[in-house]
A = this chain, B = another copy of it.
Amino acid sequence: MSRTTMADVAQAAGVSKSTVSRVVSGQSIHMRAETRQRVLRVIEDLDYRPSHVARSLVSKRTLTAGLLVSDVGNPYYAEVIRGVEDVALAHGYNIFLCNTSYNPNYCQKYIHSLTDKGVDGILFMSSSMPDEWVREVARHAIPSVVLGREFQGMEGVGGTIAVNFETGIRAAVDHLLELGHRRLAHVSGPLGLRTSQLRRDAFLQALAAHGIDPQHTPVIEGNLRTDGGRQALAQVLAMPQPATAVFAANDLTALGIVSAAHAYNLRVPENLSVVGLDDIELAGQIIPPLTTVALPRYQIGCLAMRMLLDLLQTPQEAEVQAMDHNQELETRLVIRQSTARAPA
Q: Is the CB of A89 within 8 A of B110?
A: yes
Partner among B60, B62, B75, B258 whose Cβ is within 8 Å of the Cβ of A287 = B258
Which residues of A (74-129) have their CB < 8 Å from a CB of B?
74-75, 78-79, 81-82, 85-86, 89, 92, 94-99, 101, 106, 109-110, 113-118
Is B113 touching A92 in the complex (CB atoms < 8 A)? yes
Checking B75, B96, B256 against A95 with a beta-carbon cut-off of 8 angstroms, the contacting residue is: B96
| Most B-side CB within 10 Å, residue of A53, A92, A262 | A53
Set of chain B residues within 8 Å of A92, measured between Cβ atoms: 113
Assess whether A57 is interfacial by the CB under 8 Å rule.
Answer: yes
Q: Mark A241-265, 1 if CB is under 8 A from B, else 0.
A: 0000000000000011011001000
User: What separation, in Å, do the CA atoms of A92 and B96 have in the docked complex?
Assistant: 13
Q: CB of A273 within 8 A of chain B? A: no
Chain B proximity of A272: nearest CB distance (Å): 13
- Interface presence of A191 (CB below 8 A): no
Residue of B nearest to A281 (CB): B73
Chain B proximity of A295: nearest CB distance (Å): 15
Q: Is A335 an interface residue (CB 8 A)?
A: no
Nearest CB in chain B to that of A225: its residue? B281
Tell yes or no: A282 within 8 A of B by CB.
Answer: yes
A54 in the interface (beta carbon within 8 A) = yes
The reply to whether B73 and A99 form a contact with Cβ atoms under 8 Å apart is no
Q: Any chain B CB within 8 A of the CB of A196?
A: no
A85–B57 CB distance below 8 A? no
Q: Which of A25-33, A44-52, A315-323 contacts B (4 or more CB under 8 A)?
A: A44-52
Tell me if A64 is interfacial: C-beta within 8 Å of chain B: yes
A209 at the interface (CB under 8 A from B): no
- In angstroms, Cα B72 to Cα A281, docked, is 12
Q: Which residues of B contact A226 (CB under 8 A)?
A: 281-282, 285
- Docked complex Cα distance between A285 and B54 (Å): 50
Contact between chains at A255 and B286 (CB < 8 Å): yes
| Docked complex Cα distance between A329 and B262 (Å) | 34
Q: Which residues of B contact A66 (CB under 8 A)?
A: 94
Q: Give Cα distance in the complex from A96 to B93, angstroms.
A: 10
Interface residue? A56 (CB, 8 A): yes
**Which single residue of chain B is at the shortest CB-CB distance from A54?**
B57
Chain B residues within 8 Å of A2, by CB: 60
| CB closest residue in chain B, given A259 | B285
Find chain B residues with CB under 8 A from A138 CB. Answer: none
CB distance from A254 to the nearest CB of B (A): 11
Contact of A49 among B49, B99, B116 (CB under 8 A): B116
Question: How many angstroms between the C-alpha atoms of A105 and B133 in the bound complex?
Answer: 37
A75 CB contacts on chain B under 8 angstroms: 73, 75
A-B contacts, 16 of them at CB < 8 A, read A52-B116, A63-B117, A66-B94, A72-B78, A82-B101, A85-B99, A94-B96, A94-B113, A94-B114, A95-B96, A95-B97, A226-B285, A230-B285, A259-B285, A259-B289, A287-B287
Ranked 9 nearest A-B pairs via Cβ = A97-B97, A73-B78, A226-B285, A94-B96, A52-B117, A72-B78, A85-B99, A52-B116, A259-B285
